Amino acid sequence: MSNKHDPEALAIEDEKHQLDVPIVVDAHTEEYQEYLNLCEDFRGEREQKLNRKIDWHILPPLMLIYMMTYVDRSNVGNARLFGAQKDLGMSGTDWNIGLSLLFVTFAVGAPFTAALGKKYTTRFKLPLLLAACGGTILAAGCSNNKAAWYAFRLILGFVESGKFIAYVLSTWYSSNIFTTRYSWFYFGATISGAVSGLLAYGIAQLDYHWGYRGWRWIYVLEGFVSIILAILLCFVMPGTPEASHKWVTPEEQRFILLRGKYTYGTDKSGNSSEFKLKEYLSAWTSPHFLVPAFSMFSFAVGIFAFSFTLPTIIASMGFTAAAAQGLSAPPYVAATFAVWISGWASDRYKKRVLMVVVPAFVAVVGLAMMWFSVGKPKLVGLCYTGCMLAAMGFYPLSPTHTSILALNNAGQSKRSAAMGGLLVFTQVGGVLGSNIYLSSQAPYYPVGFGVSAGLIIFGNLIVMTGYWFYVGAVNKKRAAMTEEEIRARYTSDELEAMGDKSPLYIYSR
């Protein structure tokens, strides 16, 4: 079949040329005619200028919020090295239970905050959540027993579940640049591992200062910084595209709203921006949510286990606790570059599933190197290289999975449900990942490395390869019908109501 009649080839061409050839939807609707006219006005440099304007106003505050909430979450591994477990009278099992509790309340809260994220503005909501995270972390630094520690972990998980940022990005950016922008934004999460390690290294120099252990200083000071930043962000945090903004003209605002409606999935039928409960619930039975979400779960087990255990693994190489904090930063720096390259390649070549398979393979190689060399003094270099590769493989997977969900779930209600549901699967993975690196198996961790590698291989290599073939078969079946035949059978309203089930919708793979 030639590219002229191949829907996937046409979809890729439309994305590559940033809608230089507008997609035909329904030439008789006023709204779509308005969209076509705006496409003419926003060709080439003008659209790129608009995207850069959005970048400067949207990405920095979102990146900062994501980075600080991840710092607040990931510093638990650093706190353990500086006496938190001992001071709170916790066994290794108790500690793992504490790690898991955050993911339980996060998973419970995520679907509800996903629905609320569609209905309420983010301008004050996200800074408020950051302040709540900072306050919870600060209070956790004052804990004196296991019960208080568990309570604050539960609260932190519920508060963080409202950090529904991927959906916010999908409302501002078109499908052809979503993955790149989400990767840029995800730098905040990736670099937070380095920031957390370096901050912990510096703050931990206060160990036993005024009679307090280093872990308390880490929590109290990082929590205080989060609260201050949250207050400042209230003055610069933008709202939704529907709200008025001084830096966006009415014409630009209208174009942003319409391209979000008509470009995802090169959607020739458009998709609704209204919140619809039926559409929201339909995501939970869609293979275009369930398959990528399972793949996300399988990698989440490994990435959370990795981030929680990395300082301990580095310390087992023979380094002091303080040195292990500093040495935990370079793997995250390397991961930041891997995230950028993966996001760029995904949008440049439109090979979404390939950008899951390649990083997943790198992560498996890194885990294998760590598993083989950990605890062997003569193989410290090999083990540390494995840490670098594992981080470079793990971290690009989250933006890619998120972009697949955004591109293959049409209608903003269904898309918000899919992204909220993705958080549920991720947190369930976090619960399992918190309990596979057993202190009784240190420093070799056969269960931790084995489970992490096995799930990555099955969920991200095997399952996602199968999804690639499945999506190809669906697209081929839809290509068998001409647009004229489809429009003769369905009205424009019916096609819009179908969302990504519309025969005019082309899935990304």
Q: Are residues 227 and 135 in contact, defined by beta-carbon separation less than 8 angstroms?
A: yes
Whether 275 is covered by a domain: the verdict is yes
How much is the mean pLDDT over the chain? 82
Query: 27 versus 433: which is more confidently predicted?
Result: 433
Span of 30-39, 113-122, 411-420, 450-459 with lowest mean pLDDT: 113-122
Assess if residue 4 is contained within a domain. Answer: no
Residues 75 and 215: beta-carbon distance below 8 Å:
no
Q: What is the CATH number of the domain that holds 449?
A: 1.20.1250.20
> For residue 491, is it within any domain?
yes
Residue 13 placed within a domain: no
Residue 443 has pLDDT above 70, yes or no: yes
Residue 356 belongs to some domain of the structure: yes
Residue 16 in any domain: the answer is: no
Residue 22 is classified by DSSP as P
Q: Is the pLDDT of residue 24 over 60?
A: no
Q: What is the pLDDT of residues 282-338, one digit of tens each?
A: 888 899 999 999 999 999 999 989 988 888 898 888 887 777 777 888 898 899 889
- Confidence class of residue 121 from pLDDT cuts 50, 70 and 90? low
Give dist(CA 435, CA 83) in Å, integer: 20
Residue 25 has pLDDT above 80, yes or no: no
Report d(CA 401, CA 391) in Å as an integer: 16
Q: Which of 170-184, 234-248, 256-270, 357-371 has the highest mean pLDDT?
A: 357-371
- The least confident of 20-29, 80-89, 350-359 is 20-29
Residue (of 423, 403, 394) closest to 352 by Cα position: 403
Q: What is the mean pLDDT of residues 485-503?
A: 81
Look at the chain and report how many structural domains it folds into. Answer: 1
Decide if 5 contacts 479 (C-beta within 8 A).
yes
Higher pLDDT, 275 or 478: 478
Q: What is the pTM of this model?
A: 0.75
Asked if residue 14 is part of any domain, the answer here is: no
Model pLDDT for residues 340-362, shown as the tens digit of each residue? 899 888 888 889 999 999 999 99
pLDDT interval class at 501 (50, 70, 90): confident
Buried b / exposed e along 134-155 (16+ C-beta atoms within 10 A): bbbbbbbbebeebeebbbbbbb
* Tens digit of each residue's pLDDT (9 = 90 or more) over 271-284: 555 666 777 788 88
3-state secondary structure 452-466: HHHHHHHHHHHHHHH
Asked, for residue 406, whether it belongs to a domain, the answer is: yes
What the block records as the tokens of 410 is 């049409």
Q: Would you call the peptide bond into 443 cis, given omega within 30 degrees of 0 as the criterion?
A: yes
Give CA angle at 484 (479, 486), nearest 5°: 65
pLDDT(4) > 70: no
Tokens of 202: 């510096």
User: Domain range holding 312?
Assistant: 27-501
Look-up of token digits 């230089």: 20
Rounded to whole angstroms, the Cα distance separating 397 from 318 reads: 31
Question: What is the pLDDT confidence band of residue 495, given thresholds at 50, 70 and 90?
Answer: confident
